[in-house]
């Protein structure tokens, strides 16, 4: 690859390196957990190549670094290579590094040059291709909730809120408080500065209900672009926090007794030919497609929960009265429902899925949620009647453990067909391995309450 590739990267990346010597390129791709994998190389080396190779076994690695059994059989154990090709449109600064560095997300191809079916970015693209085949284009808008927490170098100790600039520990129950956000204003300043250097747009930042909990909203747009942005944001926010002697965590439930962190996903669907939102008709009224989309969510989200809540900790968020709906009800401007219809004009009519945790891989979270809606559009069923009361009072409708969620995922063949059978088999294998590993751990609760009492 000659250095003409520089002319193909976004303006923000060119602006970042303008007048400076580019030292390094980080060639990365998201794994099953959404962790950045790949390798770094001197910029002059990147100039001379068009691709590089990594083993497909990257996608079999669990969050603990162990390896799940390969569902592909004997051939997969040979760890065959896949080809990684740069998507130059994703080039962005890594402004926290000592050298002048760009990050570039790479696409994973198999040895036939086809998209590798278990790469999370390809899974999302597969779902979008299925929409395109119907003449449709999804639009999403994510909300990112996360915590700033005190440094925690001993996993046996509970996670604590961070110390604010006032010298006091960050306070809970201060939702929307500007003073609470100001407590860690220096971290927020770095996040803004890093985002500007990276060409990432922040729609707004606000204080959430937990101690040290923040929400960042992103403007609506293309699902792959926004998944890329969240992938970059998570890495960047962690780096900003480390500069100020604290951690940023995207765990679904990091602190006992505090609210969990969600990644609410707003969806609308556009007709490619007309550019119109299919959820609204010419008179601005709700369409049958709008109701079908909601029904698809109700019918298939139980199978998708394993992707929206991918770890044992994810299910600690699914408890009543902590602003985490554990139901499949839908309602207009009702935050107790799992599926909320926000107030909007007809052109912005959308469905908000409030079930996804911030710990999910954004590519897989978007893919799973959109897959449920697509199935609804195809099945053309109607949802149950709108919930106009407190949906927290209803019965639990979702799997409440990772094991039950994996079972539900494997039982939803329609969902598997949309996401891809190869991916589904690999994902289930990785998650079962993680769940089995967790089941072997004896918790502090068990030692405290059972050791001397039973």
Asked whether residue 163 is assigned to any structural domain, the reply reads yes
Pair 250, 359: CB distance under 8 Å: yes
Residue 447 CB partners (closer than 8 Å, separation 6+): none
Same domain, 111 and 136: no
Ranked by mean pLDDT, the top range of 74-83, 162-171, 221-230 is 221-230
Q: Are strands 213-217 and 330-332 parallel, antiparallel or unpaired?
A: unpaired
Summary mean pLDDT of the chain: 92
- Which of 65, 81, 115 is where one domain is finished? 115
Same domain, 64 and 162: no
What 185-190 contacts at long range (C-beta under 8 Å, 24+ apart), as own/partner pairs, is: 186/244, 187/148, 187/240, 187/241, 187/243, 187/244, 187/246, 187/248, 188/214, 190/240, 190/243, 190/244
pLDDT in tens, 334-349: 988 999 999 999 999 9
Q: Rounded to whole angstroms, how far apart are CA atoms 349 and 342?
A: 8
On the question of pLDDT at 297 being above 70, the answer is yes
Instruction: Confirm whether pTM is higher than 0.85.
Output: yes
Q: How far is CA 157 from CA 153, 245, 404, in A?
A: 8, 18, 28
Question: CA nearest 408: which of 417, 418, 400?
Answer: 400
Same domain, 297 and 177: yes
pLDDT attached to residue 1: 43
On the question of pLDDT at 155 being above 80, the answer is yes
Least confident of 205-209, 391-395, 449-453: 391-395
Split into its structural domains, the chain has a count of 2
Residue tagged 């996993």 (tokens): 155
Q: Are strands 81-86 and 52-55 parallel, antiparallel or unpaired?
A: antiparallel
Q: Which residue did the predictor score with more confidence, 285 or 75?
A: 285
Q: The domain containing residue 185 runs over which residues? A: 128-449
Least confident of 79-93, 270-284, 308-322, 377-391: 308-322
Beta partners for residue 330, in sequence order: 339
Same domain, 222 and 350: yes
Same domain, 282 and 324: yes
Asked whether residue 454 is assigned to any structural domain, the reply reads no
Same domain, 37 and 138: no
CATH of residue 367: 3.30.590.10
- Which of 55, 87, 115 is where one domain is finished? 115
Question: CA nearest 83: which of 62, 104, 118, 114?
Answer: 114
Q: Rounded to whole angstroms, how far apart are CA atoms 103 and 198?
A: 10
Same domain, 133 and 105: no
Same domain, 216 and 359: yes
């Amino acid at each position: 690859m000659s250095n003409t590739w520089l002319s193909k990267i976004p303006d923000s990346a060119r602006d970042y390196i303008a007048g400076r010597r580019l030292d390094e390129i980080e060639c990365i791709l998201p794994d099953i957990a959404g962790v950045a994998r790949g390798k770094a190389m001197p910029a002059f080396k990147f100039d001379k190549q068009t691709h590089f190779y990594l083993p497909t076994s990257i996608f079999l690695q669990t969050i603990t670094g162990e390896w799940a059994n390969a569902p592909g059989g004997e051939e997969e154990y040979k760890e065959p290579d896949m080809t990684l090709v740069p998507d130059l449109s994703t080039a962005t600064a890594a402004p926290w590094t000592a050298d002048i560095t760009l990050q570039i997300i790479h696409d994973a191809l198999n040895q036939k040059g086809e998209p590798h079916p278990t790469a999370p970015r390809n899974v999302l693209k597969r779902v979008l291709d299925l929409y395109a085949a119907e003449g449709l284009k999804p639009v999403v808008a994510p909300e990112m909730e996360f915590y700033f927490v005190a440094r925690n170098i001993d996993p046996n100790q509970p996670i604590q809120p961070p110390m604010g600039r006032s010298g006091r520990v960050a306070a809970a129950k201060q939702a929307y408080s500007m003073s609470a956000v100001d407590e860690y204003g220096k971290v927020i300043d770095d996040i803004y500065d890093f985002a500007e250097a990276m060409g990432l747009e922040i729609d707004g930042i606000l204080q959430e209900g937990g101690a040290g909990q923040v929400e960042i909203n992103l403007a609506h747009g293309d699902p792959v672009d926004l998944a890329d942005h969240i992938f970059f944001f998570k890495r960047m926010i962690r780096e900003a926090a480390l500069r100020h002697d604290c951690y940023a965590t995207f765990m679904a439930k990091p602190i006992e007794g505090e609210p969990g962190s969600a990644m609410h996903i707003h969806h609308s669907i556009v007709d490619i030919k007309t550019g119109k939102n299919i959820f609204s008709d010419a008179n601005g009224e709700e369409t049958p497609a709008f109701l079908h989309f909601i029904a698809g969510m109700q019918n298939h989200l139980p199978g998708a929960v394993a992707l929206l809540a991918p770890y044992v900790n994810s299910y600690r968020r699914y408890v009543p009265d902590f602003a985490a709906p554990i139901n499949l009800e839908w309602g207009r401007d009702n935050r107790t429902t799992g599926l909320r219809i926000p107030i909007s004009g007809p052109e912005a009519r959308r469905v908000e899925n409030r079930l996804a945790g911030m710990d999910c891989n954004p590519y897989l979270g978007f893919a799973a949620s959109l897959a449920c809606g697509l199935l609804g559009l195809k099945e053309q069923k109607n949802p149950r009647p709108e919930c106009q009361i407190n949906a927290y009072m209803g019965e639990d409708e979702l799997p409440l453990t990772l094991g039950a969620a994996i079972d539900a995922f494997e039982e939803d063949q329609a969902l598997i067909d949309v996401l891809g059978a190869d991916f589904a088999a690999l994902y289930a294998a990785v998650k079962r391995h993680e769940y089995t590993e967790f089941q072997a751990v004896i918790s502090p609760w068990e030692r405290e309450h059972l050791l001397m009492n039973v």
